Structure 1
Amino acid sequence: MLPAERRARVVELLRRDGVVRVHELAVRLGVSAITVRRDITRLAREGVVRRVHGGATLELPATAPTSGGRASGAVTGAVVGLVVPSLVYYWPDVVRGVREAADELGLRVVLRGAGYAPDDELRQLGALVDSVGVDGLLVAPTTTGSQGAALVRWLRSAEVPVVLLERDSGDPGLGLLESVVSDHRLGAASAVRHLAELGHRRIGLCASASSPTAPHLRRGWRRACDELGLELDGVPEVTTCDHRDPDWSRQLDALLDRCRESGTTALLVHSDPEALALVQRCQERGIVVPGALSVVTYDDEMAELCDPPLTAVRPPKAAVGRAAVALLAARLRAAGGRPVHRVVVQPELITRGSSAEPAPVG
């Protein structure tokens, strides 16, 4: 049976039975379940059918009202799978943006958390496609290591549209995948410029080794320092362990010692827990913030609760979620020929009490 004939047969069975399951179709048509899912995906993109849990049903006419009172189009009623690496830090605001945009379009979101583990991410994504029957995926994947490479290969060959969250599809390894990212390089640069305008000439960087954001922050920090002619010789540029790691206290003291020895008067710290711990350690050691050391944190999840409240760079987390839904909806509507889109959203600098002019020398 030719592919076009096979898809016509799928539509015929839907008209007769109302709803069909992937495995039932595979048996009837004598093909694999993967082939059936690809046929359903194509028919769904053409607006002929609608994917449901484990199978498909005929799409409602565009003029027919849905149960929520909306007119059903090519997107309304679609199911979106959302996989994020954390449900407790940074990502809740992204999820909120996704939910708000999905509600406006009449989409249903199925959320999964995967804990920065590529094998778990792959398992969750496979279940969303094969068992839940989602129409598209929003995901912040781990892309490093052999497991990350396997996950990227899976995403590039996925049967449904994929939009990356806070992962740059400009990386050749990610292929032609749509993406929405915060411009972390610009965010880091804005922190450096703020501190330089206050008069700081030696501005250090403390980035978390476990975060995929760290390389972008480092590039933005270094580029801004170069453009502003700031001194880098001896200035701390450190990658630290997680603040919960047993070695964190030692690394923190070593960083503060390097600031004192090098005459560094300001630090950009990623992320908020590390910045809060650093300020607390400064207080224990009699280092006045911002008098002796100005601190700018990156993320702004809990920065205003510090004493003093921390100046922070705030990535547009909810806006990233909303933009990702808009990209996915546009991809679901497109019958073909739509170019790959990469959306970059600008972070915001929030000035608070942890940054000030450097103390006079002597």
Structure 2
Amino acid sequence: MTARRKAAGILTLGIAPLALAGLTAAPAVAHGSLTDPVSRVSACYAEGPENPQSAACKAAVAAGGTQALYDWNGVNIANAAGKHRDLIPDGKLCSAANDKFKGLDLPRADWPASKMSAGKHTFTFRATAPHKGFFELYMTKPGYDASKPLAWSDLESKPFARAADPTLTNGSYVFDGTIPQRSGRHLVYTIWQRSDSPEAFYACSDVTFGGESKKEGGVDAQSAKTPTAPSDDAIAKGAAKSSVEHNGHGDDDANTGAKVKTAAPAGEGQASGGTGQATTGGDTPAVNPAAGEEVLAETGGSSSTTYLAIGGAAVLAAGAAALFTSQRRRATATGRRGN
């Protein structure tokens, strides 16, 4: 074997593992949203991002584009660590202060709304990637006006439902809670704070209660379209579109994400409403699993890194193959001339 052929062989063997490493470096896909009662972003995605049916979802697309709906399971803050009130200003709760999802913050009284009643209810949160963590659900206070921007002061100070590491059934977390008495249109605000990471996810679900109805912004509080959650087929079909921008994992653009308004003192990171989540001896949310706990679907890095790795690996592999072929042809030609 000539020195040139040996070099080509070594190069090919050296690049192949790099290519495989690049191809397996992709982070997990995005994580989920509340589907019972269905969240705004899930309801609009189920209507069809390119051609939504309800006036509110059409307005959301006009404000923020269709990509936000394809990424229905990625309304998140990567480094929330329980500091939800510090990171998310009034008027931006539904988008988690992410500019891409700004259409979800539109103050409207005609968002698709799920019918609810006071008492025990089983909630479902569709998880496209499961994680250990805590769910907290907050209800708007009596007198809530959907035609005005949603503020933290519109929510009750304590969650009416809370669940730690609930059961994952058929791709959804399922847990129970007791819904308080309400009348007319209201909103359920969901926070899913991971305990294996500082990342948190958020969802706004519009709901209507029976009883006295009132006009809000000229719209009957009970008259909005009843929403449906995304079907399995719709989720599967939309996954490819979601991965186009950022592999379906939140938003890699630091300019569109939430910013810390005030620095939280050490050890005082709290959930909205002052309720500690995933605590480890205090009110600071745990960002590492306890000893012996299994870390599920750990994520990290940016999708741009992933695509660069995959693309670079593919280019290297292709180059190695071309070089190997070229050297083989040269060796064959040399052998023929020698004969």
- Normalised by the length of structure 2, the TM-score is 0.21
- Normalised by the length of structure 1, the TM-score is 0.20
Instruction: Specify which structure has the bigger relative contact order, considering alpha-carbon pairs within 8 angstroms and separated by 6 or more residues.
Output: 2
Structure with more of its chain in helix, by fraction:
1
